[in-house]
Structure 1
């Protein structure tokens, strides 16, 4: 089972609407030695899904994700599930497949379950009013609490059955139990680290006893929906639950994964010159990102509020992995694989400098913020794509037949 799990091929959605929290899934998967990671944009979503075993969609703007993927993305996701794929959605990724009558969202009606944080009468916000509610037609989706909450795992859940743990909540759904979902965790309480955006009575009515995590079988595949961010790197117990759930899915699955031809060799690394230049650029980006995080500024991009502190998770996702990358010997006949990454890093850093300058002058920064987050996301995903292609050794056809793995029956 362990060997098979390590050969799973994961796709992480990083396209339009995705926020920084997908980097948390990268950390989790790498921590548990899942190295076969790919990074999907909306434009290549449908083409890449057939070569994957697991699709991960984390937090962000659900409306923007649905619009970007469109009906063709929904059809590709349906086919992926029917043939045995595993979908893991947290926060926005948990909202996306819930039944809706709204434009774009209705293409993704995979799970019939009601959210318990939808109301026509908007209660007063006692903190963070911009994050407290989101308009939804004539109603509002409200988020009475943020930060750490307590959840109790269902008794049937392997290894963690009946146990209570803390996980962070940043707008994810509380679900009303329905016949279509199998609950895996329930909201059970709050902690000293819970941040209340509404009165305690409202928070208790919205969350306590409601479903925090669940699954639904579709065809030969499954959907796992997580309200809280179990994948957050600061909550190792939540991470362990996600890993246990992936392995539990494998233990209950009997399907053949489509196996592409193995790579002939690992992709080329970085030249010493490019590697050193990239480290300097990203180090400077990191310093500037932390300086920006001290600014009291935010931007509304789509339906989401982005603070300046959300810049550094992208930069840190790159910086923390630069050290293990080894430079290759200079070979004139081979192009330097890092030149495009270096150019992208310099572009991001230049935008950050311009943004810092405008903030000092008291000028509007909305356009630069939108540009920065778009380029940061692309740079981080491109770097991680190259990083994990180097980290994951190619698997020969003989090895695949011998161990089964994600490419054989489980």
Structure 2
């Protein structure tokens, strides 16, 4: 016959075995909820370069859950399932056209309600307050827009103190891939707050009739708020092969308001 102590130990062991799967499941669910849910916009049927580059580092190992979303899905309310929307490179006007009025409204509402918006190159054009087709979620216009196709080249950007705090605590200057991104400067839209500069261009591209000296000093990375949400825009392609991709990942984290 078992002693009372042995009986109690056996009961305790059985209860521990029963509780263990629940503990593991709870830990897995907690890990899942910690991932930043990132929607990456793409509208051609074939995967484009921006989403292809982004999915290389927006991984669960780095704290992200990545999914491509299409214009029709945005119009149908899919953004409610995400923390951040990334608008990658391409054509800002074509992105706007693909979204249509209902989709643009859905994106603005998503950010207004607390979602994050990350615009890269074309996505920064789209976010600006400059064009009729723009979303107008950041108080920025495009400098020297008539020479937007100024060329593609490696250029140097310099982080501001705010940029070093938000994006990278390492070097101040980085060589990055530039490919006709917007030269961002402040706009004067009274209903929008001013933006904060995180990085400026320190060297330039001046081809196809673009005047020399126009690019240096304009803003390469900026951030602001729109309603309860956050907006960050990158003119150059930091998500490209040579990066530095960590500066994009840090911006996505900031936009998701996990800081």
- Tell me the alpha carbon deviations over residues 194-217 of structure 1, each in whole angstroms, 9 at most, x when there is no partner: x75247x82422x10010010110
Between the two proteins, the alignment pairs up a number of residues equal to 219
**1:54 offset after TM fit, Å?**
0.9
1:156 aligns with 2:162: yes
**1:83 offset after TM fit, Å?**
2.0
**1:90 offset after TM fit, Å?**
0.4
- Choose from 202, 206, 219 the match for 1:188: 202
In structure 1, the residue matched to 2:222 is: 214
- Choose from 231, 243, 250 the match for 2:239: 231
Look at both structures and tell me which one has the larger radius of gyration over its CA atoms.
2
Secondary structure of the structure 2 residue equivalent to 1:77 = helix
In structure 1, the residue matched to 2:16 is: none
| Distance 1:75-1:198 versus aligned 2 partners, 3 A rule | closer
In structure 1, the residue matched to 2:20 is: none
- Tell me the alpha carbon deviations over residues 168-216 of structure 1, each in whole angstroms, 9 at most, x when there is no partner: 01111111145621111000125xxxx75247x82422x1001001011
- Choose from 197, 202, 222 the match for 2:207: 197
1:50 aligns with 2:80: yes
Following the alignment from structure 2 to structure 1, what is the Cα–Cα distance between the partners of residues 199 and 86?
A: 19
- Choose from 84, 90, 111 the match for 2:138: 111
Following the alignment from structure 1 to structure 2, what is the Cα–Cα distance between the partners of residues 4 and 189?
A: 42
1:175 aligns with 2:184: yes
In structure 1, the residue matched to 2:70 is: 41
1:8 aligns with 2:16: no
Following the alignment from structure 2 to structure 1, what is the Cα–Cα distance between the partners of residues 222 and 251?
A: 11
Structure with greater helix percent:
1
Structure 1 unmatched ranges of 5 or more: 119-139, 254-405
- Cα-Cα RMSD: 2.7
In structure 2, the residue matched to 1:243 is: 249
Following the alignment from structure 1 to structure 2, what is the Cα–Cα distance between the partners of residues 185 and 215?
A: 10
- Tell me the alpha carbon deviations over residues 270-294 of structure 1, each in whole angstroms, 9 at most, x when there is no partner: xxxxxxxxxxxxxxxxxxxxxxxxx
In structure 2, the residue matched to 1:23 is: 52
**1:225 offset after TM fit, Å?**
0.6
| Distance 1:189-1:245 versus aligned 2 partners, 3 A rule | same
- Choose from 106, 116, 120 the match for 1:90: 120
**1:23 offset after TM fit, Å?**
1.1
